[in-house]
Every structure is written in C-alpha cells, then in structure tokens.
A and B are shown apart, each in its own frame.
Chain A
Amino acid sequence: MSAVSPKAAALALRLAELTLPAGLAAARAAAQARLAAAGLPAKRDEYWRYTDPASLTASDAPLADLFDAAEEVPLFANINRLKLVFVDGHFDAAVSDDLTLSGVEISRLADVPAGHWSENAYGTLEAAGQTPILRPLAALNSAYATDGLLIHVTARASKPISVIYLRKSEASDAILHHFIKLDPGAELTLLENGPAASRLNMVLEVDAGDGARFHHIRAQGLDHDRRTVSHIFARLGAKSLFKSFTLTANGILTRNEAVIEFTGDHAQAHIAGAAMGDGAFHHDDTIFITHGAEACESRQVFKKVLKHGAVGVFQGKILVKQGAQKTDGYQISQALLLDDDSQFLAKPELEIYADDVKCSHGSTSGAIDETALFYLRSRGVPKRAAQSLLILAFLADTIAEIEDEAIAEDIRARLESWLQGHED
C-alpha cells in the first residue's frame, strides 16, 4: 500500500520545481521542516475555504499576459525616497539606488554574508506565526525565497525605502522575502508597489523593538493576470507603532495575510486595505492579531469595491490572551457591491481570554446609496462622477490610516484613475 498522502504528493511535485538557495542554511532548513510537516494548503482546509489555493501551490505559475504599466498613474513619484527595483523577482542594481541610507543597513537575501545578523532572525517571526494556524506557503517562502531585503533600522531612516516590483515576463514565478529589524526607537517607512511577477509569494517580517515606528504603504499594481500570496509577520515591542496600508486594484488572485503579535505593552497596530475589483478578481484579506501584552490598540479597516463578478474575502481575527488587559481591538470589513454578480464573504472572529478589554467588530456589504447619488446629481454632478465620488468616500476610512499626507494623496490619485478607467 502506498503511504503517500495527497498533500505530501502535491508538496513533492511543487518541491521538484524548486532549488534551495545558498545562505541562511539553518533558517532555510528549519523552514523546510515546517513545510514538510504542514504540507501544502488545499481548498478543503478551513483556512482556505473561501479562496482556492490551487494556482498558488501548483508546480508552475500559470501564464499571465503582460500589462502595460504606462496605464498606471505613477506612485510616490514626488516623494524623496530610496528606490530599489526588482524585476520579475530579481533585484536590478542597474536601475536601483545604492543600498545606503542614513539610519539603516540594507543587505540582499541573495548574497547574505556568513555571520550576518539575519541568521538569527530570518524566518523566526514566520515560524512563530505558524501557531495556532498553519501557513504553509509562508514556510515555503522562508525556505526557498531567492531574493529580498534584509533591513536593519538603527535610527530614524532619513527617507522612505521604496521597493518597486516590475513584471516583464509572462511566466515569472517569484519568491521574495524581506526582513525588517527595527531597533528600539528606530523608524522606517516602507513603500512597495508593482505586480512583481506572474505569480508572487511574498513574506515581510517586521520585528519592531520598543518604541519603534514602522509605516508600510503598499500598492499591488493594476496588472490583471497576476497572482499573489503575501504574508506580513510582525512582532511589536512596547510602545511601538505599526501601520500598514494596502491598495489592490485588479489582479486575478490575491491573498494577503497579516499576522501581528503584541509582545510589549502600550503598542499600536493599524492595518488597512482598499481593494477594487472588476471582473476576474478574487481578493482575500486574512488577518490574525494576537494581543499578548497589556493596553495595546489594534485596528483593522478593510474595504472592497466589487463589480462584474469580482469576489472579496475577509477573514479577520483578534485573539486576546489571558492577562492582556486594557486591550482595545477594532475591526471593520465592508464591501460595496456595484452589481448583483459580485460577492463578499466575511468571517470576523474574536477570541478573548482577558476580562478588561474593549473589542468590537463589524461587517457590511451593500450597494451604492441611491439617495446620495441623486442628491449629488441634483447638484449638477454627472452620474459617473457622482458614483466615483461615493466610491472614494466609501474607501476614505482606509486611506485615513496613512499618516503621510503626500503619500495618501498619491494613493487617492491612483484610486481616481482606476475609477475613471472602470466606469462602465
């Protein structure tokens, strides 16, 4: 009798297409072991009930037609930043700035020297994030990631790091992994934009020391055919601040997971997402926030605008551990369905083991407010423009989570341009 389970067989097929990169051997071996124990996710897994992972776990990335990026409004163009460019998952030094920035040390995962600080860090937050729910695609990433940035922030970074992901191949299959270590009191803004690859598996680990501040603004690109699975793992020390905003417009499949743990008191984590899908678009935000310390504040704000059969998923959990008193947890997920073909699936969860906490959650889905639409039109605003205005208003709460006004304005402009192109 064959003893090979379907999961193990699927994993073997996938691994046959991968080679273990050099460097961080111990960390990669540990990740391989986690992956082998977990197997690959499948649609029948409870955690993948609303999103079919088949195309994310398949041996080969499905082909994706190229998208003309010229159609996109350039992002962050007027922001003074350190530009680092990846093309189809590979760092392109020729078009990137030097890896030097005051207050920051940057290395590349692809040529990490022996004895580098990341040997004791890389993959550790991902490993911690495997409990209580397995995240095999993140373990696969830690084991097999070919490139990425290892960023040690020692002070306040003099300007944002802007990572630009270009896609020039119809068949690129990228595994990227960044690790960001913020010393106590350090501060960094990380900007990410672009589709990256036909299929992208991305992990971002953020280890924030006491009093550190991390701002993350990500735009996943208008690219229609790309597929993405991304994981953010964050560990937040006392009085630290973590703010992450993601804009997703189109993309055939996106699963964005965020796993955030408070380990020190009085820390703050805000995570927000605005997603707009037209047609073949499946977008899944899966969030897990663990309050393991006192008096921390977490806020999840996710909004989706869906039309022509687009599907939105939200799975958000707040876990408040015993002793995490004075926790303030908030979660809202909302969808604006612009027609009857679109769908929003939401699974909000609270699990609380402390008695002095404030936690709230809400989830709604609905159509555009016809009364408001008429009100705007009666004042002379044409129907389409009125609709766009109401959609932007619906998404405004997510953008409000971006502290930097210039960056928020860029994101707003991107949204407006998308709306102009999708008015029918």
Chain B
Amino acid sequence: MLEINNLHVKLEDEDKQILKGVTLKIGAGEVHAIMGPNGSGKSTLSYVLSGRDGYAVTEGSASLEGEDLLAMEPEVRAAHGLFLAFQYPVEIPGVGNMTFLRTALNAQRKTRGEPEVSAGDFLKLVREKAKALHIDADMLKRPVNVGFSGGEKKRNEILQMAMLEPKMCILDETDSGLDVDAMKLVSEGVNALRSEGRSFLVITHYQRLLDHIKPDVVHIMAAGRIIKTGGPELALEVEHNGYAEILAAHKLTEVQ
C-alpha cells in the first residue's frame, strides 16, 4: 500500500534536516504505529506524505500503490486514497461542515472520474456516519471545527475519514487532547473502518491509544529515522521503560 524508501527531508527555508532516511512498508489492511519522542520527525513525515508546503525532499521516495506520491498535488494524493487526520484540525469560519464534506467528497470523485453524489444520498450517508461518532446535526451545520472542543474536532476528523473512505489513513497524534471517553469513541470510529483494503499509520507518543487501536507493527522513530521495529509488545516496552533505553542503544539522547 504505502512504501517509503530512504526518505530524507529538510525544511525548505532552513538548512535543517528533519528526516534522515526513513524506510517503511505498510501492506494492505495493516495497521502500523510510529512512536517516538518529541522532535523525532513523526509529524513531519505525516505532512510530507500529505503534501504540505515548507518541506524539501532531498533524497528517497514515497509511493502509494506503486504511484509516486511525492509528485502529486495534495488534492491528487487525497483522490488517490491518502488521508491525514490532523493533530490540530483547522478551523474554517464561514464554511459549513456539511458543505466542506460534500465539496471534498465530490471533488475526489470528480478527480477519479466518478459521478458526484446527489444531495439526498449525501445527506443520508453523512447522517448515518455522524450518528456512529455521536456527531449531532448542530455540529454538521456549524462552520468547520469552529467552536468545537478538542474531542469534537478529532471526531470530526474521523467523520471525514469515514465519508471519504481512503485507502491509506495517517493519524497524527489523534489521541492528543482527548479524555478517556473521547479516545474510546474515536478509536471505535477508526476500528470500524479497518478492513482488508485499508491501511493505517498511527502516530502517537503514548501506548494508551494502541490499547484501543491494536497495531500489527510498531516502529520507534528518533532523530529522523526509524530505529526499531517490532510487534505490539514494543509499545508496551516503551510504556514501561520510556524511550531512554532504546535511544541509548542507538547512541541517541532525547534532545537532538
């Protein structure tokens, strides 16, 4: 599904290398988690994969189902099935949540050469998906994320994911700012979307989220590289011992 090879990324405006050779392969239907201390490059990886400005790829490649991801505009990546659930979902005053969802869905369909979803079908679909995430009619009517609580914003991200039905979902610290109940709700939303044809990359600091969204593979990222890969037990190891031990084994310290 997603294949990243020796990816090197620096900030566009600064001579600062963030990713220093990331290699990662996620098969169809797999759930991978990336854990790592602050500043290890986890969020940068998610932004570079989704096409945000401000980063320069200096070496390496990333492909989605064999197609060069890095050559595509962000909207084309989305139409190809890539989805990033933002760590900080953006507020867009003046754009209603419904309008936003429908515009996005139909834009992706148009790019893929599929017919638009009618207003009636869309409404039915969005109501059904929203209900499962405890998103009420008022939240759908309000401007995108404006005045939403932290939990509401994250639930709204998962609603978008459910509506757009991407193949490759990246969750960037989706657990940040969530209380226990909200995390459970969001995780249930994610788990409901798990399927053979859909893969996930879950970026998180804490093992807690991975109790709810059970990964197949766990990677530890530090100083712009993946330094260790293992099964779910690796997340537990981090939870018990912290990152220090693993970092020390790679002659790294917390602050780079």
By a beta-carbon cutoff of 8 Å, the part of chain A in contact with chain B is 369-372, 374-383, 385-386, 389-390, 392-397
Task: Decide: A379 near B78, CB < 8 A? Known: A370-B53, A385-B103.
Answer: yes
The answer to whether B134 has its CB under 8 Å from any CB of chain A is no
Contact B51 A380 (CB under 8 A): no
Give 20 pairs: A residue, B residue, CB < 8 Å, sorted on A: A374-B52, A374-B90, A376-B100, A377-B51, A377-B74, A377-B78, A378-B74, A378-B77, A380-B78, A380-B105, A382-B75, A382-B107, A385-B103, A390-B92, A392-B94, A393-B92, A393-B93, A393-B94, A393-B143, A397-B94
A393 and chain B: residue at smallest CB distance = B94
Contact A377 B95 (CB under 8 A): no
A378: chain B residues within 8 A (beta carbon): 50-52, 74-75, 77-78, 83-84, 86
- Cα distance A376–B51 in the bound complex, in angstroms: 12
A383: chain B residues within 8 A (beta carbon): 73, 75
A369: chain B residues within 8 A (beta carbon): 92
Task: Decide: A376 near B93, CB < 8 A? Known: A381-B75, A383-B73, A383-B75.
Answer: no
B78 and chain A: residue at smallest CB distance = A380
Q: Tell me which of A371, A379, A390, A397 has the highest count of chain B C-beta atoms within 10 A of its own C-beta.
A: A379
A389 and chain B: residue at smallest CB distance = B95
Task: Decide: A396 near B94, CB < 8 A? Known: A376-B104, A378-B74, A385-B103.
Answer: yes
B89 and chain A: residue at smallest CB distance = A375
Contact A375 B90 (CB under 8 A): yes
Contact A379 B164 (CB under 8 A): yes
- Cα distance A375–B160 in the bound complex, in angstroms: 12
Q: Which 6 pairs, one residue from A and one from B, show the smallest C-beta to C-beta distance?
A: A393-B94, A380-B78, A380-B108, A379-B104, A375-B90, A377-B74
B95 and chain A: residue at smallest CB distance = A393
5 further interface pairs, Cβ-Cβ under 8 Å (given A370-B53, A381-B103, A386-B75): A371-B90, A377-B51, A379-B107, A392-B94, A393-B92
Residue in contact with B53 in the complex, picked from A372, A374, A393, CB distance below 8 Å: A374
Contact A390 B95 (CB under 8 A): yes
A396: chain B residues within 8 A (beta carbon): 94
- Cα distance A87–B53 in the bound complex, in angstroms: 51
- Cα distance A168–B90 in the bound complex, in angstroms: 48
- B62-100 contacts to A (CB < 8 Å): 73-75, 77-79, 83-84, 86, 89-95, 99-100
- Cα distance A370–B92 in the bound complex, in angstroms: 11
Secondary structure of the A contact surface, majority rule: helix
Residue in contact with B79 in the complex, picked from A380, A392, A395, CB distance below 8 Å: A380
B92: chain A residues within 8 A (beta carbon): 369, 372, 375-376, 390, 393
- B27-64 contacts to A (CB < 8 Å): 50-53
Tally of A-B residue pairs with Cβ under 8 A?
A: 79
The answer to whether B111 has its CB under 8 Å from any CB of chain A is yes
State how many angstroms separate the Cβ of B36 from the closest Cβ of chain A: 22
State how many angstroms separate the Cβ of B105 from the closest Cβ of chain A: 8
State how many angstroms separate the Cβ of B104 from the closest Cβ of chain A: 4
- Cα distance A382–B111 in the bound complex, in angstroms: 9
A393: chain B residues within 8 A (beta carbon): 92-95, 143
B86 and chain A: residue at smallest CB distance = A375
Task: Decide: A380 near B95, CB < 8 A? Known: A370-B53, A374-B74.
Answer: no
State how many angstroms separate the Cβ of A390 from the closest Cβ of chain B: 7
B53: chain A residues within 8 A (beta carbon): 370, 374
Residue in contact with B75 in the complex, picked from A380, A390, A392, A397, CB distance below 8 Å: A380
- Cα distance A396–B92 in the bound complex, in angstroms: 12
- Cα distance A383–B76 in the bound complex, in angstroms: 10
B94: chain A residues within 8 A (beta carbon): 390, 392-397
State how many angstroms separate the Cβ of B99 from the closest Cβ of chain A: 8
- Cα distance A397–B89 in the bound complex, in angstroms: 23
B143: chain A residues within 8 A (beta carbon): 393
- Cα distance A377–B83 in the bound complex, in angstroms: 11
Contact A389 B74 (CB under 8 A): no
B112 and chain A: residue at smallest CB distance = A380
B52: chain A residues within 8 A (beta carbon): 374, 378
A377: chain B residues within 8 A (beta carbon): 51, 73-75, 78
A380: chain B residues within 8 A (beta carbon): 75, 78-79, 104-105, 107-108, 111, 164
A375: chain B residues within 8 A (beta carbon): 86, 89-90, 92
- Cα distance A372–B50 in the bound complex, in angstroms: 14
- Cα distance A377–B93 in the bound complex, in angstroms: 16
A389: chain B residues within 8 A (beta carbon): 95, 99, 103
- Cα distance A377–B52 in the bound complex, in angstroms: 9
- Cα distance A379–B111 in the bound complex, in angstroms: 12
Q: Mark B100-130, 1 if CB is under 8 A from A, else 0.
A: 1001110110010000000000000000000
A372: chain B residues within 8 A (beta carbon): 90-92
Q: Mark B216-240, 1 if CB is under 8 A from A, else 0.
A: 0000000000000000000000000
- Cα distance A396–B95 in the bound complex, in angstroms: 9
B160 and chain A: residue at smallest CB distance = A379
State how many angstroms separate the Cβ of B72 from the closest Cβ of chain A: 11
- Cα distance A145–B250 in the bound complex, in angstroms: 86
State how many angstroms separate the Cβ of A261 from the closest Cβ of chain B: 32
- Cα distance A379–B52 in the bound complex, in angstroms: 12
Q: Tell me which of B52, B79, B94 has the highest count of chain A C-beta atoms within 10 A of its own C-beta.
A: B94
- Cα distance A329–B95 in the bound complex, in angstroms: 27
- Cα distance A393–B73 in the bound complex, in angstroms: 23
Q: Mark B135-146, 1 if CB is under 8 A from A, else 0.
A: 000000001000
- Cα distance A399–B58 in the bound complex, in angstroms: 47
B105: chain A residues within 8 A (beta carbon): 380
- Cα distance A61–B53 in the bound complex, in angstroms: 48
- Cα distance A379–B81 in the bound complex, in angstroms: 10
A385: chain B residues within 8 A (beta carbon): 103, 107
- Cα distance A378–B52 in the bound complex, in angstroms: 8
B91: chain A residues within 8 A (beta carbon): 372
A379: chain B residues within 8 A (beta carbon): 78, 100, 104, 107-108, 160, 164
State how many angstroms separate the Cβ of A130 from the closest Cβ of chain B: 38
